[in-house]
Amino acid sequence: MNSLSTYLIISALLFSLGLLGILQRRNLIGMLISVELLLNAANLNFMAYNRFLAPDPVVGQVITLFVMGLAAAEAAIGLSIILALYRKMHSINIEAAQKMKG
Amino acid sequence: MTDFMLFLPELFFILGALLFFIFSLRKTPNPAGYHRWAVVLAAAGLLVTVASSHQEGMLFFNCYRVDLFSQVFKVLMALGTIWVIFSSGELKGIDTRQHAEYYFLIFVCTLAMMMLVSSVELLTIYVSIELSSYSLYLLVPMRRGEERYFECGIKYFMIGVTASGLMLFGISLLFGVGHTTYVPQLIKVLPTVISQPAAIVGLVLALAGFFFKLAVFPFHIWAPDVYQGACNQVTTYIATVSKMAAAAMIIRFAGISGGASPAMIKLLIVLSIASMTFGNLVALIQKDIKRLLAYSSIAHAGYILIGILTLNSQGYAAAMYYAAAYLIMNYSVFMVIMKVADDGHNLQIKELAGLHKRSPLLAMTLMLGLFGLAGIPPTAGFTGKFLVFAAALGKGYLYLVIIGMVNATISLYYYLIVFKAAYLLKPVKEYPPVRVDFWTQFMSFALVIMSIYLGVFPDRFLSLTEAAARSLF
Amino acid sequence: METSGLNTILQFAFWVTVALTVAGAAIAVFPRNILYNVLGLALALTGIAGFYLFLGSLFVALMQLLIYVGAICIAIVFAIMLSRPLHISAPPRPPVKMWLSILASAVFFVGVVSVALKTKWQCAAGHVYKASQWSVENIGNALLTRYELVFEVISLVLLVAIIGAVITAGYSRRISS
Amino acid sequence: MTAMNMAGFPILTTILMTTIVGLLVIIFIPPEKTKLIKQVSLASASLGLVLCLWLYHAYDFQKGGLQFVERVLWVKSIGIYWFNGVDGINLPMMLLTSVVLFTGVWTMWELEHRVKEFFALMFLLVAGVYGVFMSMDLFWIFVWYDVSLFPMYPLIAIWGGTRKEYGAMKLTLYLLAGSAFILPAILFLWAKGGGHTFDLFMLQKIGFTPYVQNVAFLMLYLGFGILAAVWPFHTWSPVGHVAAPTAVSMIHAGVLMKLGAYGVLRIGMTLCPQGAVYWSHLMALLGTIGIIYGAIAGLGQTDLKYVIGYSSVSHMGIVGLGLATLSVNGINGAVFQMFAHGIMTALFFSSVGFIYDRTHTKIIPELGGLSKTMPVASSFFIFAALAGIGVPLMASFWAELLVLTAAVKAFPVAGILACMGMILSALFMLRVVQRTFYGEKNPRWEHIPDVSKFLAVPRVILMSCILFFGLFPKVMLDVIQSTVIPFVTRF
Amino acid sequence: MGAIFRDPVLFATVLGANLPFFTMAVILIFTRHNPRLSSQLSVGSIAVSAVCAISLLAKLFFAPALQYQTLWFVSGKLNIVFGYYLDPLSLLMLTIVGIIACLVQIYSLGYMAGDPGYSRYYAFQSLFAWAMMNMVIAGSMLQLFIFWEMVGLASYFLIGFYYEKWSASQAGKKAFVMNRVGDVGFFLGLILLLLGFGNLGIPELNHAASTHGLSQGLLTASALLIFCGVIGKSAQFPLLTWLPDAMEGPTPVSALLHSATMVAAGVYMFSRIFPFFSGSHDAMQFALVIGTVTMLLSSSMAMVTYDLKQVWAYSTVSQLGYMVMALASGGYFAGVFHLTTHAGFKALLFLCSGIFIHEFHTNDMRIIGKQGGRKLKIPMVCITVGALALAGVFPFSGFFSKEAILSVLAAQPNKIWFAAGLFGAVLTAYYSFRLIFHILLPMGGIEEKHHHDDHGGSSHEHEEEHHGYIFWAMAIPVMILAGVSLVLGFAEHPLEHFIMRSVNVPGELAAHGGAALQTVAHVAAEGAGHAHESGSPMLLILGVSAGLLGIFVAWLEYGRKGASRKGFLSHVPAIWKLFDLRWFMDVFYRKGLDTFMYAGLTSLFTLNDRRIIDGGIDGICIFTEGSGRLFSFLQSGMLQFNLLLMVLCAGAAVLYFVI
């Protein structure tokens, strides 16, 4: 539990799961949820490095805090775009957004 | 007081943003008035930026560095912003009720990018880039009337957040391996640990965010849809100003490794070749001019990368030169597009037919812009390419230069198709005449002269960019 | 102090947290019902908050719960309710896409894990683990000195997000007011 | 040789400026005033002609070397110089350019469609040509090279004839594809030369390693060879010429094609002498193939301009062969042939252009018996055809004599085969002349007026050029030779 | 420049040789629309030229060879020298050319009267005269070659003068191209000499060859190559078929081209550098074979044609063959002398035929005979004189020159050449008298129908008057030539003396020319000496009897009362056809050109250009665009597919750096 690599592996797992979600969820909100996983994985990394390696433990924490804030803003923007799409397309599935190509 | 002066351009743009925030609270919109205000503010912003262009100093506990490198890019971005705002007089693509927000977001985005090029701390960089991205995420779906293009907003968002996730993860690795978030310290530390996988992977992943901004393969995938789907002015903004910031940041980040990792250079070479080739090849078959320019921007990202991947100041100077040239010529083309499609619809190439009769001046501006993009002398685009290739050959990348030139030849084909439409084709139906006011004429001449001046007399600007590139280290 | 006993308990708690987090993440990703996903996300986020605790930062853990679990998940739920995606029938998943996504994620996972394992992580010269350094006070200090600019900017980010969300979602203030 | 000589009047820049100022003036004339535009064009072209003639006269061939040098540092960091000068190799080319431009502008006097743009683009093109010929800095050579190529696209696509858009696109892309090899080669040499100068003569002093020379020369040869219509990169020549309007064909075939050979000579052979030696067999081979192939392929063509396009391939083959010999006579002959072919082919195209303007066809079987209705126009063409055959006392004869002499010495087999080209060119030129101008009077062309006196002037000028340099080759060879003799010592 | 005016000889040379050129320019540029003035200018200038030539001959008759030269240009080690070389041979030839050209132009005043291309005709005539005269007095082989080509060019225009007629323009083209084939050999030979010897001055060449300044291999190779030029220009086998076709030109042109000038140029060039040629035994042997074959072949062709001019054309070829034989077997003087006499009588023959053709508007000897050709007394007499000269009957000029040739041939160790020469003489006499008898004694007498009968009164008279002028313009030159043919033979010895004289002449050129001419004298004297010694009377008898035999056979078949008026060859149709079709040479060339060049290489190359090269380029373009379409598949619009691409690439990059 006190080893860096445990945390790193967990964060890698979370990150990969997030990627998987982004890649195969068709529900846009589902994708957004997966994005949150990505950010959290990175946060976990920061915290872990902070704990085990960094000279100044404040940095990682502050970064994590700011990323949370950003994530909130991002979620707000993302959800609003999804809602707008829903109002236009009556769907929040990814299929609603694949007409532009070539 | 000096600190304040160093931060003056940013403060000015914050001021602009606040003003439009206040405007956005008003009940009755006044688009013409907003535009006037915006032009005045952006012009003043440009002046302020130019005035402070030779300042140097550190701010905010060394998180923020004002040097020639950042100031040159700030001037370029301020220039791009005033151009975009100048062209926003007939903002038909966006609901009149949202004009104030539009200007607000433009100002915020420019501010964010200015901060981005000055930031030398990873978190500051990340937050700045997110701020600019969020503004753009919001600007893109603002488009009114074209339902079929709405999906580009969600695409842009999804790809953007994924890229930023990768970037954040990369930054975390950099933090882990370098124990610091300050870029100057990282530059010192990283070359010593570059053999560690975490360092190089962190760097590459961190670059992903900027690659996304610059639309480098494989992070280019948003570009065509967004260029096509966003309203003309926003597309212009994305195509000009945001590229400057991205180029600046790639220059700053690529240098972190200090050229100690050949694998990294190889990766950059591969990405550059892939970008050029992909962008140019797919652009060949486009009908929508904005989509075409999106692919062309992917290709140009590849050219800029050629300059960057030399990892020496000559290459950076060349890349900066190229970026500036790209700003001018890309805006030339977009200005014509915005003028011709003044109702805000998406211009098809064939709609340019007979432009040389409808407006000779715009046709000439378009021609010069296209020549610049294609790299035909004596435009700035050519000189930029030349410098970039020279830098690459200075490092001995002969094959890369040959591939680049072959690509330039391929690209010529689609630029010629646009040119052909403007100069050769007879319009199939009667298009309304293009209204060209005085300021547009002025701008056309200014762009043409700038493009040719930069192309023929590159010395002064080149020495400026060289000085800027040296200030990086 | 029965350190070993406490250690065992902590160890157990840690692995339980790991299990919860991973399970939560899996639930957030795999089920096709979007509400399950949200709940899974909440579970995973809570687990991560637990990790933060293990790593010694109570403040961040609290913030995690507050912002993530509290705010973001609720916002998502609201969005789900507004968009009524529950009524939309889900077409079957194309297996090719499925496998390709798994492949891509797996590649990434392998890559990142090997990065984590292959890198010789070195402690910074001044690194000493002291709980005092993890205090909220220090964080506040940093926020107001080193991260002053970011602190200011994040407020701008939130402002942008609010305005943007409002205009994008289509509820123009001038109409609604 | 490269001494600063800014004290003197910058005559070369002035020549360049005649075209650029002409271009700018034309841009600011309203498009309706076609007469004025033409007058301005002719005035600026004749100013260039006068200056070039003066330059030719003032050049001291006893002294030889580079004269009228202008040299200013342009871009410090990578060493670009605004470096112009003339020597025996580019002086004839400058003269050629001015003559062809002058006659070309005059030939297009009857143009009515988008006059302003036509002349503006033409001057842009010629500015590029002048620039390439006078520059002694690799950067500027390349810049002007591209400047001269690009206007071909609109010029052909707007004012052209058969399949103009296809031809224009093909030609432009093809030629610019050539520069995809030239630019890397130039930069390669620059980088291998230390990366601080593009000055041709400073680079010349740096001895490049054989490897560098071989690689760079091959790239330059391929790149410029496309423009010089070296076999097998020659197919743009017929297609492009068919599509192009008269004056453009004149300038293109008359001057622009020479840029290719000139580039090989000026950059390739100057900087990479060993590379030239290494690849000389290839050059000789391709040149000889070009001579024979062009003539034989030209035999079967039914379009007048196709025929001339192929004859250009054949004649440029002679240039290539001459260069390949790397000897005084060969290069003398090659440069002289460039000049002679330039004038001759300009005459060709101006005659064909006239015929096409009047009859609206250039398909040989549709023509025939034109001698009856338009004897003067026919005689221009026949004269050009004779020059093309290499009849003595016309300029190209001397060129062929010198080249073939050198070729027989250097590459006996190639030289003998190239001589066979003389038979073939006679066969195919006379065939065209016969089918176009001889035979029964064709009632279709009965009422077509002959060349007016006014329009005959440019053709007569071209004819007299051919005759003058045919009778007095010394006038040109002394000049050429003054540079070539020191030039070949490095091979 | 000043030198030209100070030195009368040089002045006369330059003036005489170059005046026609300016005449041509003036006619083409200024007096195109005034045929009368044009013709006067042209005749005037050629007359001046002729006078200059004659006076030069007179002035320099006893003088040593003169050489004027100026350095025209220098290229590398190549010094191109232009100049004039006035020695007996060139002076003689210059005079012949001047006189014949002058006579032909005077004749043309009548013959070409009223032709729409009158001015053009005279312009080309002047061009031709200029080129020919300059060629004759050229000081170096290169200069000779240049004007040799110009002669070809002028002949191209003259042969194709009636350009509306397809066959005429075809003939002109054929003449030019076939000449070109020979010229390329000539040209290569010159280049070879230039490279091997470095100097193309005629005296220098002759000197070097005779004093072994040249290696034997180079000498033989370049001599053979230069001989190709002779083959082309003088219509030797295998390039002889252009000459009969060249009869498409106006008759005076044929007279000019095929008597003294163009076709003789080849033989002239041969004799010009005769010492050089004689340096190579192999080359001489080759030339002898070629000459013999040519002579026999063309005689055989002349036996079957009914076309007046064709007969003379073939006869020209065969006589040229004779000359080549003579020269090749060492008979320098014999060859030159035959060239001289042949110039006279062949011009005579052509011009007489021209009168018939002009009168009867046909070339067919049978029709001319039937319509009363013999009523035209003057031409009839003159043509007979010419034919007698051609047949080698004493005392006409042909007799002397033919005897000289036969004696040279007889001196050859291999008697087959002599036999061939004799046989040729028989054939010559046969075909020329076949023609004479056809006109003089037509089968079934003369049809009494004058073609002027249907013309009206006044116009008739006017026409008569005009006719008179035209007739006399044509008749006077003919009579002059007939006179010359009668007397020229007796000038053999003075001429021989003149041509061979230079041996002992001291002078500035003795160093160069002396030795060369010594050789000439030596070789020629050897040949002639042998002949005279070995059996002069015998030879005389043989020669005369050969001619008489030919005439007798012709009389048997065509002349005597009740003759069948069919050649003995008509009994063997295959051979008739063979002869008539020129031994299938034309067919062979045509087929070869059509199948090998047009259908073969040309279409192959065109196809290659269109399909393979252009196709390849278009293919590259299509491929490029196609790959654009292919790659646009990556931009499929499906968001997650795109993201997948992105993530896969990023993951691959990560893996790349880790592993």
DSSP state of D151: T
Q: What is the CATH number of the domain that holds A64?
A: 1.10.287.3510
Contact E345, E485 (CB under 8 A): yes
> Which positions 571-630 of E are in contact with B (Cβ < 8 Å)?
624-625, 627-629
Does any domain span residue D160? yes
Residue type, E15: L
* CA proximity to D230, closest of D272, D287, D170, D297: D287
SS (H, E, C) E344-401: HHHHHHHHHHHHHHHHHCCCEHHHHHHCCHHHCHHHHHHHHHHHHHHHCCCCCHHHHH
Does any domain span residue D6? no
Task: Name the residue in chain B with its Cα closest to that of E648.
Answer: B218
Q: Which residues of A touch B224 (CB under 8 A)?
A: 100, 102
Residue D74: phi and psi, rounded to 5, are -105, -55
CB contact, 8 Å: A76 with chain C? yes
Does any domain span residue D83? yes
Measure CA of the first residue to CA of the last residue in chain A; give whole Å. Answer: 50
Asked if D173 and B413 come within 8 Å (Cβ–Cβ), the reply is yes
Q: Which residues of C touch B121 (CB under 8 A)?
A: 146
Contact E404, E370 (CB under 8 A): no
Q: Which residues of C touch E646 (CB under 8 A)?
A: none
Using CB atoms, pick whichever of B141, B173, B225 lies closest to residue A100: B225
Interface test with A, best of E632, E639, E658 (most A CBs within 10 A): E639
C-alpha B354/C-alpha B342 separation (Å) is: 16
C-alpha B315/C-alpha B307 separation (Å) is: 5
Nearest-CA distance D378 → chain E (Å) = 12
Asked if A98 and E632 come within 8 Å (Cβ–Cβ), the reply is no
Q: Which residues of D touch E606 (CB under 8 A)?
A: 297, 300-301
For residues D3 and E278, which has the higher predicted lDDT (pLDDT)? E278
Q: Is the pLDDT of residue D68 over 70?
A: yes
Side-chain half-sphere CA neighbours of D308 within 13 A: 35
Nearest-CA distance A20 → chain C (Å) = 6
C-alpha E398/C-alpha E487 separation (Å) is: 10
Q: Helical H runs in D300-362?
A: 304-325, 328-359
C-alpha A52/C-alpha E234 separation (Å) is: 106
- Please report which confidence band the pLDDT of residue D123 belongs to, taking 50, 70 and 90 as the band edges: very high
**The pLDDT value given to residue C87:** 56
> Which positions 215-244 of D are in contact with E (Cβ < 8 Å)?
232, 234-235, 238-239
For residues B397 and E383, which has the higher predicted lDDT (pLDDT)? B397
**Concatenated DSSP letters for B298-310?**
HHHHHHHHHHHTT
Asked if E602 and D416 come within 8 Å (Cβ–Cβ), the reply is no
CB contact, 8 Å: C34 with chain A? yes
Neighbours of B291 (CB within 10 A): 27
Using CB atoms, pick whichever of C97, C107, C118 lies closest to residue E651: C107
DSSP state of E214: S
Question: From start to end of B50-199, where are the E strands?
Answer: 57-59, 64-66
Q: Which residue has the tokens 């351009």?
A: B9
CB contact, 8 Å: E622 with chain D? no
Nearest-CA distance A44 → chain C (Å) = 7
* CA proximity to E91, closest of E114, E63, E69, E119: E63
- Please report which confidence band the pLDDT of residue D113 belongs to, taking 50, 70 and 90 as the band edges: confident
> Whats the size of chain E, residue-wise?
659
C-alpha B273/C-alpha B257 separation (Å) is: 21
Q: What is the pLDDT of residues D337-354, one digit of tens each?
A: 999 999 999 999 988 888
Q: What is the pLDDT of residues C7-38, one digit of tens each?
A: 888 888 899 999 999 999 999 888 888 888 88
Task: Name the residue in chain D with its Cα closest to that of B464.
Answer: D77
Q: Is the pLDDT of residue E279 over 50?
A: yes
Q: Is the pLDDT of residue D424 over 80?
A: yes
Task: Name the residue in chain A with its Cα closest to that of E632.
Answer: A102
Neighbours of C132 (CB within 10 A): 8
CB contact, 8 Å: C170 with chain B? no
Q: Is the pLDDT of residue B74 over 90?
A: yes
Using CB atoms, pick whichever of B130, B169, B179 lies closest to residue A55: B179
Residues of chain B with pLDDT > 70: what percent? 99
Measure CA of the first residue to CA of the last residue in chain B; give whole Å. Answer: 27
Q: What is the pLDDT of residues B220-276, one digit of tens each?
A: 989 998 999 898 999 999 999 999 999 999 998 887 877 667 888 889 999 999 999
The structural domain count of chain A equals 1
**The pLDDT value given to residue E171:** 87
Residues near B72 by Cβ (< 8 Å), separated by ≥ 6?
A: B53, B320, B464, B465, B468
Q: Is the pLDDT of residue E519 over 60?
A: no
* Pairing mode of beta strands D67-75, D80-86: antiparallel
Asked if A101 and E644 come within 8 Å (Cβ–Cβ), the reply is no
Q: Is the pLDDT of residue C171 over 70?
A: no
Contact D277, D249 (CB under 8 A): no
Using CB atoms, pick whichever of E629, E634, E657 lies closest to residue B285: E629
**The pLDDT value given to residue E258:** 78
C-alpha E136/C-alpha E229 separation (Å) is: 15
User: Neighbours of C (≥3 Cβ pairs closer than 8 A)?
Assistant: A, B, E
Asked if E648 and C104 come within 8 Å (Cβ–Cβ), the reply is yes
Asked if D76 and B459 come within 8 Å (Cβ–Cβ), the reply is yes
Residues near E612 by Cβ (< 8 Å), separated by ≥ 6?
A: none
Asked if E639 and A24 come within 8 Å (Cβ–Cβ), the reply is no
B254: three-class secondary structure by DSSP: helix
Q: Is A7 buried (19+), middle (13-18) or exposed (0-12) by CB count in 10 A?
A: buried
| Domain span at A71 | 4-99
CB contact, 8 Å: E614 with chain D? yes
Q: What is the pLDDT of residues E288-300, one digit of tens each?
A: 888 888 888 888 8
Contact B276, B408 (CB under 8 A): no
Contact B326, B304 (CB under 8 A): yes
> Whats the size of chain A, residue-wise?
102
Q: What is the pLDDT of residues A32-49, one digit of tens each?
A: 999 999 999 999 999 888
Residue type, B128: S
Nearest-CA distance B21 → chain D (Å) = 46
Contact present, D and E (at least 3 Cβ pairs less than 8 Å): yes
Nearest-CA distance C163 → chain B (Å) = 8
Asked if C160 and B24 come within 8 Å (Cβ–Cβ), the reply is no
**The pLDDT value given to residue B280:** 93
Residues B112-128 have a mean pLDDT of 91
The structural domain count of chain D equals 1
Q: Which residues of C touch E644 (CB under 8 A)?
A: 97, 100-101, 104
CB contact, 8 Å: C120 with chain B? yes
Q: Which residues of A touch B128 (CB under 8 A)?
A: none
**The pLDDT value given to residue D1:** 37
Class of domain C1-82: mainly alpha
CB contact, 8 Å: C93 with chain B? no
Contact present, D and B (at least 3 Cβ pairs less than 8 Å): yes
Residues B351-358 have a mean pLDDT of 86
Quick check: bond before B378 cis, omega within 30? yes
C-alpha E245/C-alpha E316 separation (Å) is: 13
Range of weakest confidence among B88-92, C170-174, D310-314, E650-654? C170-174
Q: What is the pLDDT of residues D142-178, one digit of tens each?
A: 999 999 988 888 888 888 877 788 888 888 888 888 8
Q: Is the pLDDT of residue E457 over 90?
A: no
Cα B228 to chain center, whole Å? 16
**The pLDDT value given to residue E463:** 46
**The pLDDT value given to residue B318:** 93
Asked if D190 and B393 come within 8 Å (Cβ–Cβ), the reply is yes
B348: three-class secondary structure by DSSP: strand
CB neighbour burial string for B18-37, b if at least 16 within 10 angstroms, e if fewer:
ebbbebbeeeebebeebbeb
C-alpha B302/C-alpha B215 separation (Å) is: 9
CB neighbour burial string for D96-120, b if at least 16 within 10 angstroms, e if fewer:
bbbbbbbbbbbbbbebeebbbbbbb
Residues near D430 by Cβ (< 8 Å), separated by ≥ 6?
A: D385, D389, E156, E172, E173, E176, E177
**The pLDDT value given to residue D436:** 85
Q: Is the pLDDT of residue E512 over 60?
A: no
* CA proximity to E240, closest of E251, E230, E225, E250: E230
| Domain span at D324 | 11-488
Residue E362's region, left for phi above 0, alpha for psi from -120 to 50, else beta, is beta
* CA proximity to B275, closest of B308, B298, B307: B298
- Please report which confidence band the pLDDT of residue E331 belongs to, taking 50, 70 and 90 as the band edges: confident
The Cα diameter of chain A in Å comes to: 52
Q: Which residues of C touch A69 (CB under 8 A)?
A: 67, 154, 157-158
Q: What is the pLDDT of residues B39-61, one digit of tens each?
A: 999 999 999 999 888 888 888 88
Highest mean pLDDT among B290-294, D364-368, D392-396, E110-114: B290-294
CB contact, 8 Å: E181 with chain D? yes
Q: What is the pLDDT of residues C129-163, one digit of tens each?
A: 666 667 788 888 888 888 888 888 899 999 999 88
C-alpha D132/C-alpha D146 separation (Å) is: 9
Asked if B130 and A55 come within 8 Å (Cβ–Cβ), the reply is no
Q: What is the pLDDT of residues E409-433, one digit of tens each?
A: 887 777 888 888 888 888 888 888 8
Chain A and chain E share a number of CB contacts under 8 A equal to: 28
> Which positions 408-467 of B are in contact with A (Cβ < 8 Å)?
none
Contact E172, E113 (CB under 8 A): no
DSSP state of D163: T
Contact E272, E203 (CB under 8 A): no
Residue E364: phi and psi, rounded to 5, are -80, 120
Interface test with C, best of E646, E649, E656, E658 (most C CBs within 10 A): E658
Q: Is D142 buried (19+), middle (13-18) or exposed (0-12) by CB count in 10 A?
A: buried
Asked if E637 and A94 come within 8 Å (Cβ–Cβ), the reply is no
Q: Which residues of B touch E650 (CB under 8 A)?
A: 166, 204-205, 208, 218
Using CB atoms, pick whichever of B166, B281, B285 lies closest to residue E650: B166
Joined tokens for residue E61? 């008759």
Helices (H) and strands (E) in chain D, counts: 22, 2
Asked if E658 and C100 come within 8 Å (Cβ–Cβ), the reply is no
CB contact, 8 Å: A3 with chain C? no
Q: Helical H runs in chain A?
A: 4-24, 28-52, 57-89
